[in-house]
Amino acid sequence: MELGFGSGALKVTPGHDPVDFAIGADHGLPTLTVIGPDGRLTEEAGELAGLSQQEADDRVVAWLKDHDQLEKRESYRHSVGTCERCHTRIEPLISLQWWCSMEEPARPALAALRERRVRYHPESQHQFAIRSFEEIPDWNISRQLWWGHQQPLWYCPDGHVTCAWPPPDACAECGGAELVRDPDVLDTWFSSALWPFATLGWPERTPELERYYPGNVNVTARDIIRLWENRMIWSGLELRGDLPFTDVIITSTILAADGRRMSKSLGTGLDPLDVIAKHGADATRYGLLKMSSSQDVRFAEGMIEE
């Protein structure tokens, strides 16, 4: 909320906002879901049921006008979640998901970082990795996507859940043979966290796994320290009993000349083949190395021309 903006009243929608959900829980408010998975309003919305978000917005404004209750209508700038691909407005929904409690698996990984058995370079990123483990939240690992590793979970008619692989013949709790597999897949970063050993034949004991795990050095960018690097560390300790690597090199991030990230959707990216065609491969490499004196580097073609 901002002083001097709006009516001064705070609306709370526990069913469609994480912050509001926490406020509602603290005050015992009901959690109503008025938007369904199809993006249309549910029966909880009364006469607006079946409408799209925009249709419902227009209907509410029209109702206020008809009843002489509309004080004013004006445009203002604020943050609205939108899909990066189709630019459709995103509405948060409450749903039943699977979570991984992170307190226990994070503990040995945090110790490895503090004891410098695994080291991030530069030092600033090592400290960031430590803070990431110290503040790590529980992890929502289930996703409703078309592609991914399907969760090894089966449900019986009595509501029991069996977690097993290979697929079980019967419910582990009641012995029932009628099982339905959970359709959700794992978060892609859960699968990625297994990369250091899954690519070598794990969970089988293969010659490749014995020879190449653990590794030594991993080179990456800082924006996936939380998403990938730290998760490879704790999953390696959890599932293999050893760190997947000892050193992580965090490279500089090359930004556009105006300081924005290089992005195809923003139109700020450069095709390196075009730069190489103009200046040559060795000059491009040398120029990039000269620019990489910090973690955020604005691309300057003049550094290559020099």
Per-residue pLDDT of 46-105, as tens digits, reads: 999 999 988 999 999 999 999 999 988 888 888 888 888 888 888 889 999 999 999 999
pLDDT given at position 205: 94
Tell me the pLDDT of the chain averaged across its residues: 92
Tokens 């939240």 belong to: 137
Q: Where are the beta strands (DSSP E) in 206-298?
A: 217-220, 247-250, 253-255, 296-298
pLDDT at 1: 63
Distance CA 151, CA 56 (A): 37
Residue 261 lies in a domain: yes
How far is residue 212's CA from residue 244's CA, in Å, rounded to a whole number?
A: 10
Residue 232 forms part of a structural domain: no
In this structure, which amino acid lies at residue 286? Y
Model-level pTM? 0.82
State the Cα–Cα distance between residues 233 and 254, nearest whole angstrom: 26
Residue 116 lies in a domain: no
Residues 77, 81, 87, CA angle at the centre, nearest 5°?
Answer: 100
Structural domain contains residue 281: yes
The domain boundary residue, chosen from 186, 218, 239: 186
Quickly count helices (H) and strands (E) in the chain: 11, 12
* Radius of gyration from C-alpha coordinates of the chain: 26
Q: Which residues pair with 41 in a beta bridge?
A: 35
Please tell me the number of Cα atoms within 13 Å of 105 on its side-chain side: 21
In the chain, the number of structural domains is 3
Domain presence at residue 246: no
Helix/strand/coil for 216: coil
Number of neighbouring beta carbons within 10 Å of residue 41 = 22
Which of 163, 186, 209 represents a domain boundary (last residue)?
186
Range of the domain at 154: 145-186
For residue 3, what are its two tokens? Answer: 């002083």
Point out the domain boundary residue: 32, 67, 95: 95
- 88 and 156 assigned to the same domain: no
Residues of the chain with pLDDT under 70: 1-2, 6, 293
- Name the residue type at position 97: Q
Label the pairing between strands 180-181 and 153-155.
antiparallel
Q: Report yes or no: 36 and 28 within 8 Å, Cβ to Cβ.
A: no
Region of residue 68 (left: phi > 0; alpha: psi -120 to 50; beta: else): left
Q: What is the CATH number of the domain that holds 32?
A: 3.90.740.10
**Quick check: is 213 in a domain?**
no
Same domain? 16 vs 91: yes
Q: Is residue 35 part of a domain?
A: yes
Residue 244 lies in a domain: no
User: How many angstroms separate the Cα of 73 from the Cα of each of 61, 79, 118?
Assistant: 9, 18, 57
Is the link from the previous residue into 214 a cis peptide, with omega within 30 of 0? yes
